[in-house]
Amino acid sequence: MYQQFSRSVVEVDVIDPRELDDTFERVITQRLGVLPHVYRRVGSRDRFDDRGALWAFAKRSYLDNPLPSLFKERAFIHLSRLTRVRYCLARHSGYLIGKGYPAGDRSAQPQAITELLALLGQPLPDGEAVEAAVARLAAIEAPLGIPEPGSLREKELFAVLSALFIDPPRWRQHAEWLARVFGNASLDALRALLAYVKAEHFWAESHPDVDFEPDIAALLQQSPEFAQRLFGDEPAATLIPDAAMRGMLAEMKRTRDALDGLQDRNAFLLKLGDGLRPLSDPEPVQREASRLLRDFLRADQAHFAEIDELTESIRIVDDRMGEGVAVSPDRAIAPIRAAIGELRTGATIVINDVSRFSRFDPDGKRLCFENGIRSLVCVPILKDGSLIAALSVASYGPRRWTSQDVALIEDVAERVSSAIERAHAEQKLKLREAELARVQEISNVGGIDVDVASGFLGRRSPEYRRIHGLPDHVRYESHASWLSRVHPEDREQADRTFQEAMAGTAAIYESEYRIIRQSDGATRWIYAKIDIERGADGRPTRLVGAHTDITDRKLGEEAVRDSEHRLRILMEGIPQLVWRSRDDGEWTWASPQWQSFTGQSVAEAMGLGWLEAVHPDDRPTAREAWTRAAEVSVLDVEYRVRRASDGAYLWHHTRSTPVRDEAGNIIEWLGTKTDVQQMKELQENQALLVAELQHRTRNLIAVVRAIAQQTMTITGPTPAFQEQFGRRLAALARVQSLLSRSEEEPITIDALVRLELEAIGGQAGVPKGADISGPPIRIRHSIVQTLALALHELATNACKYGALAAEGGSLSVTWSIVNAAEENTYVRLVWLEYGPALSEASRDAMQGGYGRQLIERALPYTLHARTQYELSENGVRCEIEIPIAKEKRRPE
Amino acid sequence: MSVTGSNVFQGRRVLLIEDEFFIAYDTAINLQTNGAYVIGPVATIDEAMETLAAAGHVDGALLDLNLQGDMSYPVADALLQRGVPFVFTTGYDQGAIPPRYSGVKRCEKPLDLVKVAEALFQ
């Protein structure tokens, strides 16, 4: 039986513990038998301290509460089990079994530990238990006293108190039942007790540093059963009758577990981070994360599944997670379409027991059973709003997944997917870097990246190192190191260019300079082009760019420059006036020779300006030449150009051919004007000389003839000599005349024959009865004179004695080429006279004499001719065959 | 007709190379008149070479520089090789003759046989 406490309560003044710590703690120790940690000072003395208020509350509502001491203590323990405030549960368990005084009552008989354990082992009431208790209490008419410890009624009272404790407004009605059964005074005392229990719970929980007192710690060690009851993993929430209450309790438990598990979880995440960091490929990251997660949660399987909704396939990243369970690496989505749909919304699927999970497709359920999976958590991994993978953790038995579990799995999924993103990005970066390196190598470009803030220490790409001949291990290099490699002759300029670019506002730095390549000492040309990134203050912050080895190009340029230089020297050095022109004769360039000859500046000569220097009479010719030039691709014309020094117009021969590109299009014309004035003058002189020579030759012959005639008038009259000598010299003179004109008018047999016959016919020309026919055959100069003289003799005889001397006679002169295709080609000329019978005198005259000698001896001697001269009664037949193929010459 | 009083060509075997019939004919008679035995005359390089090869001993030669449009240097070379004294008979200037024949006398037409004889035999 509980002793009924009198209401005469000792009034205790509230002590200010800041002044009287010792007194305060002594008072408490006296009353409770121990000094509980809740009444120990927390922190320094100047902090707000309301232990006094709590103590006052404790005394009024708990210690001095008129309810029986053991009841109060047992109720305290029971209520502490609901909220699992372990400190209070342990401390008040201690009071109950004599560690200190039960409810501060020295006189109260402490209970045995077995009684305590029985109390702690009681099932916590659920909704049904509360309702049942209330129903039983309601059936009792008479007022009751506070029930005995361990009695059934005590259990019933505890059940109702539990409800009142957790959710007072909701159980207001039940409080009325209590008042009816136990009386209003008891109800007030019970309410006061509940209030204090809550206050102390709050106190203890809000001071997580409050530890167990030594006596409790010793008790926990002595009685493992006690410890087990105290910390056993009872899922208290299930026993709480109401969902709201359950939720609240669960939340309280979660908070507590969170606190408890925080260290573990942090440790796990740390471990996960360590495990994932060195991994750069997505698969090992997933595998390692799965393994760590499975072990930490003591689950049976954990794996990532890559989901390809397009092909409706799933690829399980790691089969080894499910040891001993056949998991096909690729599965169709179909059996778990509903689950996929749910995951797509970003929701985590939590299944405590597959067999009681209604939202699953039957096939999905079967799949789980086939793999022995009874419970699972599946967290979706979304990328840009679409489902790409899921992280699943599964157990072979039913499992109540806590929110911590779920949160952890979600956290891991999150971390892994970002780790994979990072790994993908790194992989991509590696690939890009490899590509870049290749591109750089191909194009002979070396990348450079300088973080100016860190003192121009530049990162050098592999190709940069190759170009500059740096060893492989050099990744970074200072400005000074770079500068020392620059060719001494270029160093100052290169540094100045760089410094000026840095100091200025330019966004680009460009420079060309030589370096002494470190690896082999070779001099190489470098072209640098670099982007300058500048900060808000305009100062460079970062340089990113490329170096190109342009040595080959430079050497090429040098060669081109040399060649151009030589060409220019040539063009400006030759004694011609050189120019360049467009297709229409509009000049684009004139050589210095042109400028100095004509006095025109380059600008004046440009376009058609050069025409001003051409003789006005020749300008149409000069223009016209261009229109022809386009057709025949050659410009070839002569005209006069004015010489500035004396104003004289000198003849120039202009020649040009077009310069074409590879496709054959005319790019321009390059031409020369050659001074041909002297040549022209020489040609004119030559023509004059030839004319002079002819004149003199014929004069000479005339003089010879005159001297001969005059001499003969003195030596004696020899008319026959006079006549014959005279006409032979005349014939000779005619031939000379013919020869002198041979440049313009080639000498043919026809011309020779006619010349001689016309000379005989006088004004009448070729005599009547003469028939001349034969092809046009040109004859050599060396033949002309002798042949002409022979023809002259034949013609003269014909005219004086032969066929042409009398009426009725006829003469035919015919010639042809014989053996034209062969080596011994010759011309056969046949002189045939036919007429009345010749007189004896005529025949004698024609038989001998000079003419015949000429034909029969001179022609064969000089021309290797074969001749035949026949004199018959009615005329003369003469055949002359003259070889015309030139005789072979011996080499000189 | 003797142009000299001293028969300078007496007994000499003289090769005459001249393409102009009348000049050749006239010169040959003049040489014979002056006691020479005339070999030829011939009018072309080929004939000159053949005649020279077949002629046996030759005391001297008259060589027209231009034989029907060809320069007669091959014949000159052959004569030099044989050691036969000769003169160029020509209307050309001295300058037109190559330097290697600087030792060969040049006699302008119409020929003065006394000068020819001096050039050949003194």
Residue A366 has pLDDT above 80, yes or no: no
Minimum Cα–Cα distance from B42: chain A residue: A861
pLDDT tens, residue by residue, A553-589: 888 888 888 888 888 888 777 888 888 888 888 888 8
Range name among A129-143, A526-540, A544-558, A774-788 with the lowest pLDDT average: A129-143
Minimum Cα–Cα distance from A892: chain B residue: B74
Kindly state the average pLDDT of the residues A164-183. 78
C-alpha A739/C-alpha A780 separation (Å) is 10
Residue A196 has pLDDT above 80, yes or no: yes
Q: Which of these, A66, A57, A62, A55, lies nearest to A77 by C-alpha position?
A: A62
Residues of B in contact with A890 (CB under 8 A): 45-46, 49, 74
Structural domain harbouring B73: 19-121
Residue A641: pLDDT band (50, 70, 90) is: very high
Q: How far is A552 from chain B (nearest CA, A)?
A: 56
Please tell me the predicted confidence (pLDDT) of residue A67: 92
Sheet containing A866-872: order of strands: A770-773, A810-818, A826-834, A875-883, A866-872
Q: Do A889 and B68 touch (CB under 8 A)?
A: no
The answer to whether A120 touches A229, Cβ cutoff 8 Å, is yes
**Conformation bin of residue A852: beta by default, left when phi > 0, alpha when psi is -120 to 50:** alpha
Please tell me the predicted confidence (pLDDT) of residue A335: 64
Residues of B in contact with A782 (CB under 8 A): 19, 68-69
Q: Which of these, A269, A389, A388, A255, lies nearest to A318 by C-alpha position?
A: A389
Q: Could you say which of A781, A862, A892 has the minimum Cβ distance to residue B21?
A: A862
Residue A57 has pLDDT above 80, yes or no: yes
Please tell me the predicted confidence (pLDDT) of residue A291: 83
Is residue B98 within 8 angstroms of chain A, CB to CB?
Answer: no
C-alpha A143/C-alpha A463 separation (Å) is 99
Residue of higher predicted confidence among A681 and A822: A681
Residue of higher predicted confidence among B62 and A760: B62
Is residue B85 within 8 angstroms of chain A, CB to CB?
Answer: no
Residue of higher predicted confidence among A781 and A75: A75
Q: Could you say which of A786, A887, A892 has the minimum Cβ distance to residue B44?
A: A887
C-alpha A797/C-alpha A845 separation (Å) is 8
Residues of A in contact with B43 (CB under 8 A): 861-862
Q: How far is A782 from chain B (nearest CA, A)?
A: 5
Residue A20: pLDDT band (50, 70, 90) is: low
CATH label of the domain that carries residue B72: 3.40.50.2300
Assigned domain for B60 exists:
yes
Q: Which amino acid is at B78?
A: A
Kindly state the average pLDDT of the residues B31-48. 90
Is residue B74 within 8 angstroms of chain A, CB to CB?
Answer: yes
Residues of A in contact with B109 (CB under 8 A): none
Please tell me the predicted confidence (pLDDT) of residue A257: 60
Please tell me the predicted confidence (pLDDT) of residue B14: 93
Please tell me the predicted confidence (pLDDT) of residue A62: 93
Is residue B46 within 8 angstroms of chain A, CB to CB?
Answer: yes
pLDDT tens, residue by residue, A786-804: 888 888 888 888 888 888 8
CA atoms within 13 A on the CB side of A505: 2
Kindly state the average pLDDT of the residues B8-34. 87
Q: Which amino acid is at A593?
A: Q
Please tell me the predicted confidence (pLDDT) of residue A324: 36
Residues of B in contact with A793 (CB under 8 A): none
Q: Which of these, B31, B38, B33, B35, lies nearest to B15 by C-alpha position?
A: B38
Minimum Cα–Cα distance from B23: chain A residue: A858
Q: Could you say which of B21, B45, B46 has the minimum Cβ distance to residue A858?
A: B21
Could you tell me the two tokens for A657? 């051919």
Residue % of chain A over a pLDDT of 70: 87
Kindly state the average pLDDT of the residues A15-43. 76
Residue of higher predicted confidence among A102 and A293: A102
Residue A64: pLDDT band (50, 70, 90) is: very high
Calculate the alpha carbon distances from B6 to B81, B114, B115 in Å. 30, 9, 13
Give the largest Cα separation in chain A, rounded: 213
Q: Could you say which of B41, B68, B71 has the minimum Cβ distance to residue A782?
A: B68
Assigned domain for B7 exists:
no
Q: Do A889 and B20 touch (CB under 8 A)?
A: no
The answer to whether A314 touches A341, Cβ cutoff 8 Å, is no
Q: Do B21 and A892 touch (CB under 8 A)?
A: no
Choose the mutation target among B21, B51, B75, B100 for the interface with A, i.e. most A CBs under 10 Å. B21
Q: Which amino acid is at A646?
A: D
Q: Could you say which of B25, B46, B71 has the minimum Cβ distance to residue A887?
A: B46
Assigned domain for B106 exists:
yes
Could you tell me the two tokens for A144? 């009751």
Minimum Cα–Cα distance from A887: chain B residue: B46
- For A31, other C-beta atoms within 10 Å of its C-beta total 19
Please tell me the predicted confidence (pLDDT) of residue A763: 64
Assigned domain for B13 exists:
no
Q: Which SS3 state, helix, strand or coil, does residue B41 take?
A: strand
Residues of B in contact with A786 (CB under 8 A): 21
Sheet containing A349-351: order of strands: A330-332, A313-316, A301-308, A386-395, A375-383, A349-351
Please tell me the predicted confidence (pLDDT) of residue A271: 78
Assigned domain for B23 exists:
yes
Residues of A in contact with B46 (CB under 8 A): 887-888, 890
Range name among A11-15, A407-411, A535-539, B9-13 with the lowest pLDDT average: A11-15
Please tell me the predicted confidence (pLDDT) of residue A12: 43
Assigned domain for B14 exists:
no
Could you tell me the two tokens for A2? 């509980």
C-alpha A73/C-alpha A807 separation (Å) is 190
Residue-wise DSSP of A511-572: EEEEEE-TTT--EEEEEEEEEEEE-TTS-EEEEEEEEEE-HHHHHHHHHHHHHHHHHHHHHH
Residue A314 has pLDDT above 90, yes or no: no
Mean pLDDT over each residue of chain A, to the nearest integer = 80
Residue A256: pLDDT band (50, 70, 90) is: low
Q: Do B74 and A890 touch (CB under 8 A)?
A: yes
Kindly state the average pLDDT of the residues A542-548. 84
C-alpha A103/C-alpha A65 separation (Å) is 9
Is residue A891 within 8 angstroms of chain B, CB to CB?
Answer: yes
Please tell me the predicted confidence (pLDDT) of residue B79: 93
Residues of A in contact with B70 (CB under 8 A): 889
Is residue A697 within 8 angstroms of chain B, CB to CB?
Answer: no
Q: Do B69 and A892 touch (CB under 8 A)?
A: no
Q: Which of these, B68, B69, B18, lies nearest to B40 by C-alpha position?
A: B18
Q: Collect all residues with Cβ–Cβ distance below 8 Å to B81 and sequence separation of at least 6.
A: none
C-alpha A533/C-alpha A536 separation (Å) is 10
Could you tell me the two tokens for A473? 């291990």
Q: Do A890 and B22 touch (CB under 8 A)?
A: no
Helices A214-222 and A224-231 cross at an angle (nearest 10°) of 110
Assigned domain for B49 exists:
yes
Residues of A in contact with B73 (CB under 8 A): 892
Q: Do B19 and A888 touch (CB under 8 A)?
A: no
Element (DSSP H or E) covering residue A350: strand A349-351
Q: Do A782 and B19 touch (CB under 8 A)?
A: yes
Assigned domain for B5 exists:
no
Minimum Cα–Cα distance from B74: chain A residue: A892
Is residue A745 within 8 angstroms of chain B, CB to CB?
Answer: no
pLDDT tens, residue by residue, A413-457: 888 888 777 777 777 777 887 777 777 777 777 777 777 766 666
Chain A, 844 to 863: residues with Cβ < 8 Å from chain B are: 854, 857-858, 861-862
pLDDT tens, residue by residue, A467-522: 888 888 877 788 888 888 999 999 999 889 888 888 888 888 888 999 998 888 88
Residue A134 has pLDDT above 80, yes or no: no
Q: Do B70 and A781 touch (CB under 8 A)?
A: no
Residue of higher predicted confidence among A743 and A598: A598
Give the number of domains in chain B. 1
Q: How far is B40 from chain A (nearest CA, A)?
A: 11
Q: Which amino acid is at A419?
A: A
Kindly state the average pLDDT of the residues A30-51. 78
Residue A10 has pLDDT above 50, yes or no: no
Could you tell me the two tokens for A551? 């040595």
Complex ipTM, two decimals? 0.84
Residues of A in contact with B21 (CB under 8 A): 786, 854, 857-858, 861-862
Residue % of chain A over a pLDDT of 90: 10
Residue of higher predicted confidence among A16 and A115: A115
Three-class SS of A712-727: HHHHCCCHHHHHHHHH
Q: Could you say which of A780, A862, A888 has the minimum Cβ distance to residue B43?
A: A862
Strands A386-395 and A445-451: unpaired
For the entire predicted model, the pTM comes to 0.39
Please tell me the predicted confidence (pLDDT) of residue A7: 39
